[in-house]
Amino acid sequence: MEKQHWPLWEIFIRSRQGLSHRHVGSLHAADAEMAIENARDVYTRRQEGVSIWAVPASEITASSPDEKDVLFDPADDKVYRHPTFYDLPDEVKNM
Amino acid sequence: MNARFEYLLRLGDDALILGQQLGLWTGHGPVLEEDIALTNIGLDQIGQARAWLTLAGRAENDQRDEDALAFHRDQSEFRNAQLCERPNGHFGDTIVRQFLFDAYAVPLHAALSQSNDAEIAAIARKSAKESVYHLRHSSAWMVRLGDGTEESHAKVQESLDVLLPFAGDLFHSDAVARTAATEGWGVDPANLREAWEHHLVQTLTEAGLKRPEPAPEQCGGRIGRHTEGLSFLLAEMQVLPRTYPDAKW
């Protein structure tokens, strides 16, 4: 039998309410439903999450490494974009 | 006869034997993701088996703990349904076996959650969440294989034809089952057949699979009559604790 490979899915898990989904890895699955089930088994076995997103890897548009200079270097000398000039209260986390 | 002990053994042995079988898939799954899924489900079953067998041991006046019951009983003392001891076969065989069992486990655990025995109800409520997921997994595979390629359809149809008659044990009603139901701490499995049938028909329709002609159902697991598959399974499962009774690891 000719072996056909299942498409690749990128998996995002939200570890708890209030946080955003974070990329945890990828896996193969035949369809979206199977992707969620596989993600549940592969990535949430140790209670890592409360929500799963599965995104077909082919649907992700990525920036090109060749454009690194053009895209990111201009931000190098613009320190005023960092909120480092404010005093943050201790209660504020995840900044 | 101690009906409570017998009844809990049935619950525990189904889970134990199925869990041991699924464990044999470790490293042999068709793809990595499915390998992990089958092993996870197997671990859930072992977890349920531990809880039921511990309770069974207590119903027997604490004579035996979960390990003694799992590793130091002979084949004729096991009370699992014959379906659970059918060999893993190919992936389709394992999926059909699991599907037929899961479709029974879901209404079973739902009903046992209403038990008037707090411990039975607690184990059932925990197991219910697991079995709902197991059924979703095995049902999805039934549809995927049944409605898949010509080869997958033919294979899973054959698995179904062979395995369906072995579902008989699951719904076998006898004095033990009726006592459990009458006293309110258990359920008579005969009452679970309707829910099982409903899900079976629904899934087979979706999968484009044909229900085989009714054949005589295989019964006997609940009274200790088993097929030779179980003896090989027990030999492998029990050899270490029987050779080194007090081994720790």
pLDDT recorded at residue B37: 94
Within-domain flag for A68: no
Task: Return the pLDDT at B12.
Answer: 98
Report which of B135, B130, B108 is spatially closest to residue B121, judged by C-alpha positions. Answer: B108
Per-residue model confidence (pLDDT) at position B139:
97
pLDDT at residue A1 tops 50: no
What percentage of chain A carries pLDDT values higher than 70?
94
Chain B CB contacts of A37 under 8 Å are: 37, 136-137, 140
Q: What is the pLDDT along chain B (249 residues), one digit of tens a residue?
A: 799 999 999 999 999 999 999 999 999 999 999 999 999 999 999 999 999 999 999 999 888 999 999 999 999 999 999 999 999 999 999 999 999 999 999 999 999 999 999 999 999 999 999 999 999 999 999 999 999 999 999 999 999 999 999 999 999 999 999 999 999 999 999 999 999 999 999 999 999 999 998 888 888 999 999 999 999 999 999 999 999 987 877
Q: Is residue A95 in a domain? A: no
Per residue in B28-46, pLDDT (tens digit) is 999 999 999 999 999 999 9
Q: How far is CA B136 from the centre of its chain?
A: 16
Residues of B in contact with A1 (CB under 8 A): 151
Alpha-carbon torsion angle A37, A39, A44, A50, nearest 10: -80
CATH number, domain containing residue A28 = 3.10.20.520
Q: A3 in contact with B at a CB cutoff of 8 Å?
A: no
Q: Is the pLDDT of residue A83 over 80?
A: no
Number of domain units in chain A: 1
Please indicate, yes or no, if residue A91 is contained in any of the structural domains: no
Which residues lie below 8 Å from residue B58, measured CB to CB, with a gap of 6+?
none
Q: How far is A52 from chain B (nearest CA, A)?
A: 15
Any B CB within 8 A of A23 CB: no
- Test mutation, A24, A37, A43, chain B, max B CBs within 10 A: A37
Query: Closest approach of chain A CAs to the CA of B39, in angstroms?
Result: 9
Taking alpha carbons only, the member of B56, B57, B25 closest to residue B40 is: B25
Strand order in the sheet with A8-14: A22-28, A8-14, A51-56
Three-state DSSP class for residue A9:
strand
* E strand or H helix that includes residue A27: strand A22-28
Residue with tokens 């925990």: B126
- Chain B residues with CB inside 8 Å of A41's CB? 33, 36-37, 40
**Are the C-beta atoms of B22 and B45 separated by less than 8 Å?**
yes
Is A30 in the B-facing interface, judged by CB distances under 8 Å? Answer: yes
In a domain, A75, yes or no: no
CB atoms within 10 A of CB B156: 27
Q: Supply the mean pLDDT for chain A.
A: 86
Give the integer Cα–Cα distance in Å for B245 and A43: 37
Min Cα distance A9 → chain B (Å) is 12
**Domain residue spans of chain B:** 3-243
| Interface residues of chain B, partner chain A, Cβ below 8 Å | 31-34, 36-37, 40, 133, 136-137, 140, 144, 151
What range does the domain containing A26 cover?
Answer: 8-63
Condensed to tens digits (0 to 9), the pLDDT of residues A15-30 reads 887 889 999 999 999 9
Short-list B102, B69, B70, B108, CA closest to B236: B70
Residue A23 lies in a domain: yes
Task: Kindly report the nearest CA distance between residue A40 and chain B, in angstroms.
Answer: 9
Could you tell me the CA-to-CA distances from A68 to A23, A62, B28, B81, B198 in Å, in that order?
A: 21, 12, 43, 62, 58
Helix B150-163 vs helix B91-112: crossing angle, to nearest 10: 50
Q: Give the per-residue pLDDT at A80.
A: 75
Predicted confidence at residue A3, as pLDDT, reads 57
Contacts of A33 in chain B (CB under 8 A): 140
Of A1, A33, A42, the CB nearest to B33: A42
Q: Is A92 inside any structural domain?
A: no
Q: What b/e string do you get for A9-47 counting C-beta neighbours within 10 Å, with b at 16 or more?
A: bbbbbbbeeeeeeeebebbbbeeeebbbbbbbbbbbeee
The predicted structure's pLDDT at residue A68: 82
- CB-based contact (8 Å) between A25 and chain B? no
Correct CATH for B3-243 of 1.20.1260.10, 1.10.287.110, 3.90.79.10, 1.10.357.10: 1.20.1260.10
